[in-house]
Amino acid sequence: MTEGSNDVVLYRVEGHVGIITLNRPEARNAVNREVSEGIEAAIDDIEGNAAIRVGILTGVPPVFSAGADLKVIGTGVGGIGTERGGFGGLVRRQRETPLIAAVEGPALAGGCELVLACDLVVASSAASFGIPEVKRSIIAAAGGLIRLPKKLPVNIAMEAALTGDPISAERAAAFGLVNKLCEPGNALDEALALSARIIANAPIAVRESRQILLAAAAGADEETGWELTSAGAAVVLGSADFEEGVRAFIEKRQPVWRGEG
């Protein structure tokens, strides 16, 4: 799957970037089983294709995603996630490739949890983030209650969880949830610009750095952190790209990365 869709999830590759687009604007890009399967298939391609170095998850405006399709849940017929990835085929998925959320409009409930499952966030000033599940006698069970207090100060995350009220893009950016705030309509372009900054670097070094940082953010103790760092450094130093990086520096040119061990 290098390009394609299942109608509700569009997927295309631009250079070294795999772009996943939620395409149910008539349903506020709500997540059903078909959406989850479409996201999972796109992630499969991103993870399985060494030429793809960054993924982007976005939605057809004006809403990023309103979360789970409550009409489907209300029928009681089956689940809406996948076995490997959970909700949206993503929130519990093990990945190695950096994933950027490009957010236009509200990202609420499961939509916010999809954003929290990404590594970086670009948002327009029209975006907002929230876990309003308590307003419907539900809890944010797709990672929101686990990840939000790691992305925001605990009291702010608690406020969001207990009131269910959304957080504006500006406030989210002030607290560090959003990496880049932009004008409405520019989120995808800014996410592509951020992708280019990542792609300029050695793929194996990016991958290993991401994994070590995530372990530290998840609470790994310092000794474990040193062990992971030593192992990651050994992988990087043993790669062809390490030699290329040194050679390019000496020769005063841009490196040509191969992404091979």
- Give me the active site residues, please: 133
Strand 9-14 and strand 4-5: the pairing is: antiparallel
194 CA to centre of own chain: 13
| Sign of the torsion angle spanned by Cα atoms 69, 74, 75, 76 | positive
Joined tokens for residue 5: 């869709």
103 vs 134: CA distance, rounded Å: 23
The edge-to-edge listing of strands for the beta sheet with 167-168 is: 106-108, 128-130, 167-168
CB 49 within 8 A of CB 6: no
Q: Can you tell me which residue has the tokens 């760092």?
A: 229
- Provide the 8-state DSSP code for 177: S
